[in-house]
Amino acid sequence: MAKPVVFSGIQPTGRKHLGNYIGAIRQYVEGQERGEPAIFCIVDLHALSVAYDPAELRERLYDTTAILLAAGLDPERCILFRQSDVREHTELTWLLSAVTAHGDLNRMHQFKEKSAKQRELVPAALFFYPVLMAADVLAYRATEVPVGDDQRQHVELMREIARRFNERFGETLVEPEHLIPEIGARIMDLQEPTRKMSTTGATEAGTVYVLDEPDAIRKKLGSAVTDSGRDIVRSPEKPGVTNLIDVYAVARGVEPAAVEREFEDKGYGEFKQAVAEATAEFLAPVRERYAELRPDEAALERILSAGAEKARAIASATLAEVRDRMGIGPHR
């Protein structure tokens, strides 16, 4: 069987959190083994869709690059690049907008949630974001997109866009499948466990960052909201406990059912302490490696620009075909 073409993007906004790590980054590292190629993109253009500071964006981009490398992405085995370095993404966005239904964009949950939070202006970029995201993936004819559960609808939309394009202009683009982890696809805010842990719009105390020191992790997990009752079991009525069980299962590499057995006759206090220790141990190697990698921005730039060159070679071939099919520019 042909190997999958793996593609995923991650935002350079803010610091990456445990949800990003468990839902996405962990899958990227594993995707390097299967993907041919495996392509990972730091999506700085997406970051413009909410209020941001230009100088900070650059800093955060290096932070995110170093986190991904520290987590185990290896530029020898994957293509790691900055979205804005490959201009094909923005051109393809416009071309795909011709086969994107306005009504579909209107239905996107993320737009509804994020636009409600904007204080001054709701940028059109926030509305258009899913088209850029479709272009990111379709430019590489990716077959697999590792993402967290919150991106389900955006991946469905890009499949629809590819389908419409192919119907209208002939078979050109590939409909990608999402790859959503079985455990940890939606890590919840520790303080408000009915909301996902998120860079924009989660509580600070309820968000564990990949780079948090063990003490901060202990504090946040120690004050995590649990539910009434005292059983340590997964259940829709126990979103707080269910979330902690998932985190512990992933950090220790065991099944959630095994976690339930392990803590069958233990209390919430002891359980939360165990989750904190497991999480601190789980994240420590990434934090330590990050501290070594982050200072050398020139090295990070070299990795990103070498990645961009490889990415461009693939994306520009797709673009040439798309333009030709759409009647844009001279005949090839």
Q: Which stretch binds ligand ATP (CB under 6 A): 180-188, 210-218, 265-273, 289-297?
A: 180-188
Q: Segment near ligand ATP (CB under 6 A), from 33-41, 148-156, 166-174, 323-331? A: 148-156
Task: Output the smallest distance, CB 317 to ligand ATP, in A.
Answer: 26
Counting contacts by CB under 6 A, is residue 10 touching ligand ATP? yes
Selection from 121, 210, 96, 196 nearest residue 152 by Cα? 196
- Say whether residue 220 binds ligand ATP (CB under 6 A): no
In the list 85, 150, 262, 297, the residue contacting ligand ATP (rule: CB under 6 A) is 150
Is residue 287 a contact partner of residue 210, using CB atoms and an 8 Å limit? yes
80 vs 187 by CB, closer to ligand ATP: 187
Residue nearest to ligand ATP (CB): 23
The tokens of 39 are what? Answer: 């392509």
User: Using CB under 6 A, which of 6, 7, 11, 173 touches ligand ATP?
Assistant: 11
Q: Report the alpha-carbon distance of residue 49 to residue 59 in Å, rounded.
A: 18
Q: Does 199 bind ligand ATP (CB under 6 A)?
A: yes
Residue 276 CB, shortest distance to ligand ATP, in Å, is: 18
As measured in angstroms, the least distance from the Cβ of 118 to ligand ATP is: 12
- Residues 312-331 close enough to bind ligand ATP by CB under 6 A: none
SS3 of 218-281: HHHHHCCCCCCCCCCCCCCCCHHHHHHHHHHHHHHCCCHHHHHHHCCCCCHHHHHHHHHHHHHH
Q: Is 21 helix (H, G, I), strand (E, B) or coil?
A: helix
CB of 187 to ligand ATP, least distance (A): 4
Q: Which of 274, 261, 272, 194 is nearest to 233 (CA)?
A: 261
- Any contact of residue 151 with ligand ATP (CB under 6 A)? yes
Element of type H or E holding 7: strand 6-10
* Token code pair at residue 317: 């071939």
Provide the β-strand partners of residue 201: none
Shortest Å distance, C-beta 300 to ligand ATP: 18
Which pair of tokens denotes residue 38?
A: 């495996």
Q: Does 240 bind ligand ATP (CB under 6 A)?
A: no
Tell me the β-bridge partners of 9. Answer: 41
Binding site for ligand ATP (CB under 6 A): 10-11, 13, 19-20, 22-24, 147-148, 150-151, 185-187, 196-200
